[in-house]
Amino acid sequence: MHKAWAWMPRPACTSASPRRAVTTLGLRWRKKVSSAAPAHLRWLSMLPIARRKTTPSSSPRAAKAMRVVYSEAMTAPPQGGSPSAGKPGPVVAAWRAAWPALQVRPPVPVTVEQLCRAHDRDYVEDVLALRRPNGFGTLNAEVAASLRYTNGALLTAARWALQDGGAVAAPVSGFHHVCWARGGGFCTFNGLMVAALALRADAPGLQVGILDYDYHYGDGTEDILRRVGRTGITHVTAGADWHRGADASAFLDAIPEHLATLAHCDLVLFQAGADPHIEDPLGGFLTTTELQRRDELVFQGLRARGTPVAWDLAGGYQKPLAKVVDIHVGTMRASVG
């Protein structure tokens, strides 16, 4: 743990040593879905089509589309020393300025039941009712009101990606440090696990990959996986192995290996953290060019395999916020190829 990270609030589940996540291989999944299926399940009928998209040219529309899940309900005032709660609005504004044809769809908020697949029910209900602090360490009604939408944004993006292929962005943060029953590290509900478990509840054979390239170790995700089991979910967290001073070129060279670990997955949830930037006060070993290369390698690699991807912003703490927004603009540029 480096000094800058040491001051951040940490969840209770951080005692376990970082370790490389276990790959869980499963049977390929097949399921027929009625055309009368509810709207939120219609992506199921599209999945076999998505799997046939094994070359980039087979889905040019999906590859070029700039798709975002966003509404103002996802944004709350920044607090607790982190800009994350307030990032969705400025990031989407920057994306819209760069790409006026951006396709924007509002998030379907997750239910309390969906949150409780990844978290202790008392924790979920206490946080939403302001009886317990959120992951920023505050009791804030606007943050509480945004949480079902921020978590829903990644799930909505995942379903959109599964249905149409390609990459879909959810401009949200604050997921990977929250454990089964305790938030912290600016994370309140683990949207990665909430999305993975919701998708697998709809389609138990679905294989979901979590590629966490935030600077910090995804300890909360690991804690929840230990609790609920790893079946159908493969977790790769760069923070387990790559720290300040690490060899940037070695990290970039390792990305194909990470992607190979996720080759069996029907969908990847990609945490495109901005805090691995070398000037980030809480992170830092990649230059702007290297961070851009990280994203290009990820999206090119997933596109080559025909793997749909839903991605989120994760951390980023440089000031002014425009420096962080610029990194997220770079990730969007990489996502559309």
Q: Can you tell me the distance from the alpha carbon of 69 to that of 98, in angstroms, rounded to the nearest whole number?
A: 17
198 DSSP β-pair partners: none
One-letter amino acid at 218 equals: G
**Shortest reach from residue 104's CB to Zn ion, in Å:** 26
Span interacting with Zn ion, options 17-25, 146-154, 253-261, 275-283, rule CB under 5 A:
275-283
Each residue 277-316 as x (binds Zn ion by CB under 5 A) or -, in order, gives --------------------------------------x-
User: For the stretch 206-232, what's the b/e string if a residue is b when 16 or more beta carbons lie within 10 angstroms of its beta carbon?
Assistant: bbbbbbbbbbbbbbbbbbbbeebeeeb
The residue among 24 and 271 lying less far from Zn ion, judged by its C-beta, is: 271
Q: Does 216 bind Zn ion (CB under 5 A)?
A: yes
- Least Å distance between CB 291 and Zn ion? 13
Nearest residue (CB) to Zn ion, 187 versus 199? 187
Report the alpha-carbon distance of residue 313 to residue 144 in Å, rounded. Answer: 19
Stretch that binds Zn ion, among 23-31, 87-95, 213-221, 290-298 (CB under 5 A): 213-221
CB of 216 to Zn ion, least distance (A): 4
Question: Which residue, 13 or 65, has its beta carbon nearer to Zn ion?
Answer: 13
Binding-site member from 91, 123, 157, 214 for Zn ion (CB under 5 A): 214
Give the one residue of 186, 215, 217, 251 binding Zn ion; rule: CB under 5 A: 215
Shorter beta-carbon distance to Zn ion: residue 66 or 224: 224
Give CA angle at 212 (93, 216), nearest 5°.
95
Smaller CB separation from Zn ion, 214 or 312: 214
The answer to whether the beta carbons of residues 225 and 215 sit under 8 Å apart is no
Q: Which residue is nearest to Zn ion (CB)?
A: 315
Q: Which of residues 56-75 bind Zn ion (CB under 5 A)?
A: none
Contact indicator for 173, 321 with CB cutoff of 8 Å: no
Per-residue contact flags (x/-) with Zn ion for residues 155 to 194, judged by CB under 5 A: ----------------------------------------
Cα separation, 151 vs 119, in Å, equals: 13
If 0-12 CB within 10 Å is exposed, 13-18 middle and 19+ buried, where does residue 132 land?
A: middle
- What is the sign, positive or negative, of the torsion defined by CA atoms of 24, 285, 7, 321? negative
Q: Which stretch binds Zn ion (CB under 5 A): 149-157, 186-194, 208-216, 248-256?
A: 208-216
| Cα gap 74→81, rounded to integer Å | 19
In the complex, the smallest distance separating the C-beta of residue 302 from Zn ion, rounded to whole angstroms, is 22
Nearest distance in Å: CB 8, Zn ion: 9
Closer residue to Zn ion in complex, CB, 156/190: 190
- Please list the residues that pair with 67 across neighbouring strands: 103, 168
Out of 212, 222, 275, 296, point to the residue binding Zn ion (CB under 5 A). Answer: 275
Contact between 330 and 189 (Cβ < 8 Å): no
Taking CA atoms, 200 is separated from 41, 152, 232, 317, in Å, by: 11, 15, 8, 33
Q: Footprint of Zn ion on this chain (CB under 5 A)?
A: 214-216, 275, 315
